[in-house]
Structure 1
Amino acid sequence: MIEVNDIQEAEEQDFYEHLNVVVDKGQSLVRIDKFLTQRIENTSRNRIQNAIDAGSVLVNGNPVKGSYKVKPFDVISIVLPHPPRDTEVYPEDLPIDIIYEDDDVIMVNKAAGMVVHPGFNNYNGTLVNALVYHFQQLPQLPGNEGRPGLVHRIDKDTSGLLLISKNEKAITYLAKQFYDHTITRKYIALVWGDLAEDGTVTGYIGRSAKDRKVMAIYDEEDKGKWSVTHYKVLERLGYVTLIECELETGRTHQIRAHMKHLGHPLFNDSSYGGNRIIKGTVFSKYKSFVENCFELIPRQALHAKSLGFLHPSTKKFVHFDSDVPHDFQQVLEKWRNYVKVEH
């Protein structure tokens, strides 16, 4: 256990900072173990509590107990006796589906369940680990260390297209297009409910004050970043709807948060309330049907289907499309059959 007056000594003994978080000004009082569990992806409350018990969690430079209530502007850090590996990516021979490659770019069709890049508590088995195994000297954007080749990302449990840069010229050229929102990105999603018509969702997207792992939509500019999603109905399937979403901006969890904001969360999206029956009947047969669907697609029903951009060398517009993965297709077929039987 690190005592308060031992912090300086601990630093001299090579304790390394693995995480640094400044608490938002609007944060409500909440236990630090709960706060960190919500804030850090792919971790458990038990693991956080162990770190707190070991004196590895500091608030404003001092170790605290798990019962400590975080306050706005607290500076929380996690220090451990080994250096962080955020910027050191270890090559791993992992399968990746490369659908296109040239001297400048790689287009990957990412499987659901694969984390895109290493981060705190999640250093192995990522797409970036696989990329550095298969490709040498991938470039990195300034301030994006530990994420070679990446100019954007998609969530762990979202499948679909991800664009990778192979050299400095390409990563700079593509990053500018993402910044200017000139990249065309279309996703398909299965959402709860019958969407009345095509439309657009806008708002400032920022972390939820209730749960820091998810995003919320705000009207106030100081609470988040501006976000725009255009959506159109592709197929009505009774109590769910298949839609296409085109991103005008690319924010964390944008489609997932926008659809929840509309009252139509993604099917089986556990973070945004879509992993329970939201629309439908009270019959046990229907409940069993939905639970079977959840088993077929144990993730949010979201797939990054197409991506278009100006090529770094040719300066011509190129467009890529991907097939809907098997788990998504299975669930769509089940809903189509259900609608046929019911009608």
Structure 2
Amino acid sequence: MKEILIDKNEHDQRLDRFLKKYLPNASLGFIYKMLRKKNIKLNGNKAQPEDVIKEGDAIQLYFSDETIDKFTLKPKEISKGKKLNIIYEDDNIVLINKPKGMLSHGTGKAHENNVVDSLISYLYEKKEYVPRLEKTFTPSICNRLDRNTSGLVIGAKNFTSLKLINEAIREGHIKKYYIALVKGKIDKEIELKGFLIKDEEENKVHITRKNIEGSKDINTMVKPMYTNGKYSLVEIDLITGRTHQIRVHLASIGHPVVGDLKYGDMEINKKFKNEFSLINQYLHAYKIIFNGLPEELSYLNNKELIAELDEQLANIDEKLFKNL
């Protein structure tokens, strides 16, 4: 028999979800069967899949060591990650200014540069993450950015922070703002609405006016910052956060993001590549305002954090808008 003591990084989740993370190689069918047969108990009693585990609870697994070894994952080796540009950190979260070209999550390939692995490495070196003391939790991020979009990514150091921030993002309490350079003149605020549908084969999304099967509603607020008539720098308030939402929404109204190879204007992209060596979209997640966070994270409410543009994007701004 093996007993698992629940601590703060495992508490307040359904028992079946915890068990699936603790025994990832076991099927849910096997886990439910073991619960029915009382081979898995909670605090010595018969348990149900939907029971919510709390800090201090004990789960008993009446399995052989061989069975447990078969269903658990071997600890992943932690390699030294890329140094992160951290703009804010406390006991619960890390705010990272992700450079363009860096993945948010890994794809499983060896020696891959991504935010999650670098965050794990950073906290491991600080001794704030000790894998042998954790049952299922590893530090993770609460929002993701496309590889070629730079800006703010929220890293969670513990399960409670990950859960509360994800809930606040889903409920729209945490506001995320972007800066984009777009084709053409935008001199007034625009609210864009529609429905987005993904083409898996092309790895592109398309906007429809009607809510068709498989589509998701999108809402984007666009606010002008500067314009010289040919190009405009705009602030984006992302009301909904869908794949490629900003890029396809702006392209749909004739104002594609400069440098966007998927939805953009190829002639403009070529011009900016030649003049500024820009090979990615000019899109930067520059500001986050926290709100709606309860309990342990309430100290973050009303906090506003800003990530500066990188040198290349700042140089483009200087050349285009310096006389405005």
**Fold in common (TM above 0.5):** yes
Candidates 265, 280, 292, aligned match of 1:299: 280
Candidates 201, 217, 220, aligned match of 1:229: 220
Instruction: Tell me what 1:324 maps to.
Output: 309
Change (3 A) 1:258 1:88: farther
Change (3 A) 1:314 1:177: closer
Change (3 A) 1:255 1:122: farther
Change (3 A) 1:239 1:180: same
Structure 2 distance, partners of 1:184, 1:208, is 28
Instruction: Tell me what 1:277 maps to.
Output: 268
Cα deviation per residue 1:115-145 (whole Å; 9 max; x = unaligned)? Answer: 1111155761111111111114779xxxxx9
Instruction: Tell me what 1:183 maps to.
Output: 174
Cα deviation per residue 1:77-126 (whole Å; 9 max; x = unaligned)? Answer: xxxxxxxx9x9584333111111111111100111111111115576111
Structure 1 distance, partners of 2:120, 2:106, is 12
**Structure number with bigger Rg:** 2
Q: Secondary structure at the match of 2:313?
A: helix
Deviation for aligned residue 1:301: 0.4
Cα deviation per residue 1:269-299 (whole Å; 9 max; x = unaligned)? Answer: 1011234238xxxxxxxx8x6443351x221
Instruction: Tell me what 1:12 maps to.
Output: none
Instruction: Tell me what 2:106 maps to.
Output: 118
For 2:302, the aligned partner's letter is F
Structure 2 distance, partners of 1:259, 1:88, is 41
For 1:262, the aligned partner's letter is I
Q: Percent identity?
A: 27
Contact 2:259 2:272 in 1 (8 A): no
Contact 2:85 2:96 in 1 (8 A): yes
Gaps of 5+ in 2: 1-72, 131-135
Structure 2 distance, partners of 1:174, 1:291, is 37
Contact 2:196 2:218 in 1 (8 A): yes
Change (3 A) 1:129 1:120: closer
Structure 2 distance, partners of 1:185, 1:305, is 8
1:144-223 equivalence runs, <5 A: 148-195=139-186, 197-208=188-199, 212-221=202-211, 222-223=213-214
Candidates 92, 105, 130, aligned match of 2:93: 105
Bigger shift: 256-265 or 117-126?
117-126
Structure 2 distance, partners of 1:138, 1:179, is 26
How many residue pairs are counted as aligned between the two chains? 238
Instruction: Tell me what 1:60 maps to.
Output: none
Change (3 A) 1:256 1:322: same
Instruction: Tell me what 1:260 maps to.
Output: 251
Bigger shift: 190-199 or 312-321?
312-321
Contact 1:128 1:147 in 2 (8 A): no
Cα deviation per residue 1:192-229 (whole Å; 9 max; x = unaligned)? Answer: 111252111111112137x6222111223223211111
Change (3 A) 1:309 1:302: same
Structure 1 distance, partners of 2:138, 2:229, is 42
Q: Secondary structure at the match of 1:233?
A: strand
Change (3 A) 1:293 1:317: same
Contact 2:120 2:138 in 1 (8 A): no
Contact 1:118 1:147 in 2 (8 A): no
Contact 1:187 1:244 in 2 (8 A): yes
Q: TM-score, normalised by structure 2?
A: 0.66
Q: Over aligned residue pairs, what C-alpha RMSD do you find?
A: 2.8
Q: Secondary structure at the match of 2:116?
A: helix
